[in-house]
A = this chain, B = another copy of it.
Amino acid sequence: MSRQLELAAIDACCSPLARKPLSESQAVELARVFKAISDPIRLRLLSLIASHKGGEACVCDLTDAFEVTGPTISHHLKVLRESGLIDGERRGTWVYYRVHPEELARLSAVLVPGDAAAVTV
């Protein structure tokens, strides 16, 4: 996504919380996604997947970075999947994960601060 597209996405897809108050249902939905990234291991997993070469990471690329068990990593990956931030696909022995960039962009846009949010493109 180019910078221009990124800015267009900010304007088109989401009202920054600094532009107008979130509705109750918007807040419930967003809080659910922020909860998914309110854990250090999940944040690092998300970052490892998002920054991985080709935008995709095998679960075998992820476990070595952590001093927790495989099942714990699997649990955190499941929470990230259920939040809609990542998706996984089994190919052969391994599951491969990629982020949904539009979901990251949506969260990023919601948090754009007031002065920036007030600028009209």
Contacts and interface: CB of A to CB of B under 8 A. Distances in A.
Interface in A1-36: 1-3, 5-7, 17-22, 24, 27-28, 30-31, 34-35
A48 interface: yes
Contacts of A105: 111-113, 116
A30 B43 contact: yes
A112 B109 CA distance: 8
Contacts of A43: 17, 22, 27, 30-31, 34
Interface in A88-111: 99, 101-102, 104-105, 107-111
Interface of A: 1-3, 5-7, 17-22, 24, 27-28, 30-31, 34-35, 37-44, 46-48, 50-51, 55, 65, 99, 101-102, 104-105, 107-116, 119, 121
